[in-house]
Amino acid sequence: MPDSLLEVQDLGIRFGGLHAVRDVTASLPAGQITAIIGPNGAGKSTFFNLISGFYQPTSGRIRFAGEDITRLKTHEVVSRGIARTFQTTTIYKELTVLEGVMIGHRVRTRAGLFDALLRTGRERRDQAESHAGAMRALERVGLAAQAHLPAGALTQEGQKRVGIAMALASDPRLLLLDEPAAGMNPEETVNLMALIRELVAGGLTVALVEHKMSLVMGLADGIVVLHHGQKIAQGTPQQVSRDPAVVEAYLGS
């Protein structure tokens, strides 16, 4: 077994009476693709929100690369090397693709916008860095040639790639993808799978939430199954697809 890059232990969060994620213990092996699956409302996006610091857990711990990151804020988590995409990416259609990635990157890595407003020397240096970082990210997702087009001119698939580039701009070690293939046709889905494989070949560790079973089964090294906030199974795609508890969770939902 490869070392795990991320480990969560007894992780949980309550929203009032609702235990959206409950006592989840799981690890993400370095250099692998782990799929998080489960019926709607199972807690998959909430799980990502916990790992990425958007939500503070009400119980449990999160360790990343040996460091306890349980209480870190979003931009601190990003700076440690965890980036995410969202189920719906906000694309600024009037901006260029490059500007969109730069802004998406800044919004998630800066604690405030004061620097941007004050136009300090540090701000100008950051601007140059973020321009270079955004271009590198666009190259990784195959959009370098479209960098100066209005983002609104891209296809649905192109806009999804912009969302991935926004996450890659912070140069993460772990990338969390929330339903990356949603709204994609079969050909686009195959292209996305190839992109994810390339990113992993380049050293990235990936966790993804996805409903498309062709993608999950064809891409994931391991699968974690959530149901009503709890982990009900974990294993290879073959193991999980034969697990009676998993079949039951999907049929019963």
Select the binding partner of residue 34 from Mg ion, ligand ADP, none (C-beta < 5 to 8 A, by kind).
none
Rounded Cα distance, 48 and 54, in Å: 8
Rounded Cα distance, 253 and 251, in Å: 6
Supply 57's token pair: 């857990």
CA dihedral 205, 72, 44, 10 (to 10 degrees): 100
Residue with Cβ nearer ligand ADP (24 or 175): 24
Does 49 bind Mg ion (CB under 5 A)? Our answer is no
To ligand ADP, the closest distance from the beta carbon of 245 in angstroms equals 17
Rounded Cα distance, 196 and 140, in Å: 10
For the four alpha carbons of 172, 233, 193 and 106, in that order, the dihedral sign comes to negative
> According to CB under 6 A, which one of 5, 6, 24, 42 is a site residue for ligand ADP?
42
The crossing angle, in degrees rounded to 10, of helices 156-168 and 121-140 is 130
Distance of CA 72 to the CA centre of its chain: 17
Does 45 bind Mg ion (CB under 5 A)? Our answer is yes
Does 20 bind ligand ADP (CB under 6 A)? Our answer is yes
Does 46 bind ligand ADP (CB under 6 A)? Our answer is yes
To ligand ADP, the closest distance from the beta carbon of 152 in angstroms equals 27
Residue positions counted in the chain: 253
Does 40 bind ligand ADP (CB under 6 A)? Our answer is yes
| 8 Å CB contact between 55 and 242 | no
Select the binding partner of residue 202 from ligand ADP, Mg ion, none (C-beta < 5 to 8 A, by kind).
none
> According to CB under 6 A, which one of 2, 15, 123, 186 is a site residue for ligand ADP?
15
Does 180 bind ligand ADP (CB under 6 A)? Our answer is no
Rounded Cα distance, 113 and 31, in Å: 34
Residue with Cβ nearer ligand ADP (17 or 244): 17
Does 41 bind ligand ADP (CB under 6 A)? Our answer is yes
Number of residues counted as binding ligand ADP (CB under 6 A):
11
Residues in contact with ligand ADP by CB under 6 A are 15, 18, 20, 38, 40-46
